[in-house]
Amino acid sequence: MNDNSKNFTDKDHTQIENLDQYLDLDIRTGISAESKKISENIFLSRGIDSIPDSATSHCDNYKYSCCKLATYNWENELEGESSKTFPIAEVRFKNSHKDFYRLPDEGNFSVGDIVAVESNPGHDIGVVSMLGLAVKKQLQNRRIKSEDVAKKLYRHARVADIEKWISTVNMEHTTMLSSRYIAWDLDLKMKVNDVEYQGDGTKAIFYYSAEERVDFRELIKILADQFKIRIEMRQIGVRQEAARLGGIGSCGRELCCSSWLTNFQSVSTTTARTQQLSLNPQKLAGMCGKLKCCLNFEQSTYIEELKQFPNPNITLKTQKGKGIYNKIDIFKKIVWYSYANDTSTIFAIPLEKVNKIIKMNNDGKTPETLEEFAVVNTKKVDEGANYSLDELKNIEDK
């Protein structure tokens, strides 16, 4: 950029201005080495930070933390009881897909082993993510009885198993894209979000989202004929879609649904109103387009705190006029009021002083004005005036 830009301001813009000096300015940022590593590693969704070596069934590159509901095996730090005393292992697959399997009578297994497990039909390939007493605790946490675990872990994966596994994982992205194009050609109102191949390559699970019921029988026929596999379609909601795809929330942290949240509770705009939030769909909606799940996290606290505040229907009587309720600030213990005959200005009155005015009114006394109790006087701004009811309904759970 030349020296003329040093004294450049917005007021210097004109319709006949020559902007050629800015055409060669490149404002793009380069791709970081870490981003490139993540995009090129197709096994990262299975907790492995590089393509596994087919020559060995144990994967040293397995990371327990690279998974939704990641669990640290604290039992390894304990002395005494061996991890082989519990006959069930936890095996993880793609994304948050985990399951429990019974260990065979023979053979030693450790976390990070690539194993062949029972599936229907054929067998699947996964990575052992937990063993021993930690699995017992995990079963108790999920309220699963150990005797109800019937599926078996067959053996360590062989060279042929791992090579087949690598080839099927390589096919998942292209299969997902192909299925999307086929669905578009069939004019199906659905979106294929993810594809997970079974380890032996005989079956694939297609995760899709749709607002209405979809007849995908023709789609299944085309996919089965094109890929020569058994097709299983699983419908997921927009919240589950965001959980599988992942992302960063407006808080700057990884999405709760993709890191630890499993039980999706219904969220309504009543929650936002209870917390005195602006009814702005752009701020209230998460990555999935629905109301943020985190609105529910503090709802019970707000409801409990609101018990300390006066009823919104109570008016404050003063000699200047009646004060009507506008909003509250739970954290600062402040209630905002305005005069009934002049709603353009609102007054921030501490909760203890509000209760004092109410007590005076009950005793038949009326203070002169609200201003003498207020800590802040400001012009009223209707934060939800520009947002229609339809916009808010679109982001509510139905």
Tell me the pLDDT tens digit for each residue of 226-261: 999 999 999 998 888 888 888 888 888 888 888 888
**Residue 311 identity (one-letter amino acid):** N
Residue 198 has pLDDT above 90, yes or no: yes
CA–CA gap between residue 83 and residue 69 (Å, rounded) = 21
Instruction: Provide the pLDDT for residue 65.
Output: 67
Task: Note the pLDDT tens digit of each residue in 80-138.
Answer: 444 457 899 999 998 878 899 999 988 889 888 999 999 988 899 999 988 888 888 88
Helix (H) or strand (E) holding 114: strand 114-118
Q: Which domains does the chain have, with CATH numbers?
A: 44-157 (no CATH), 164-236 (3.30.300), 243-303 (no CATH), 308-379 (no CATH)
Residues 351, 329 contacting (CB under 8 angstroms) = no
Between 70-74, 139-143, 275-279, the lowest mean confidence (pLDDT) is in 70-74
Report the SS3 class of residue 386: coil
pLDDT for 151: 94
Residue type, 45: S
Confidence check: pLDDT of 274 > 80: yes
Distance in angstroms (rounded) separating the CA atoms of residues 324 and 347: 10
Mean pLDDT for the stretch of residues 320-330? 89
SS (H, E, C) 71-100: CCCHHHHCCCCCHHHCCEEEEECCCCCEEE
Tell me what pLDDT residue 183 has: 93
Amino acid identity at 141: N
Q: Is 301 helix (H, G, I), strand (E, B) or coil?
A: helix
The pLDDT tens digits of the residues spanning 340-398 come to 888 888 889 999 999 999 999 999 999 988 888 888 777 665 555 556 666 666 777 76
What single letter denotes the amino acid at residue 228?
Answer: K
What is the pLDDT, as a whole number, of residue 163?
Answer: 94
How crowded is residue 56: how many other Cβ atoms within 10 Å of its Cβ? 14
- The strand pair at 316-317 and 123-130 is best described as unpaired
For the segment 176-203, the average pLDDT, to the nearest whole number, is 93
Given pLDDT bands bounded at 50, 70 and 90, which one contains residue 13? Answer: very low
Q: What is the pLDDT of residue 1?
A: 44
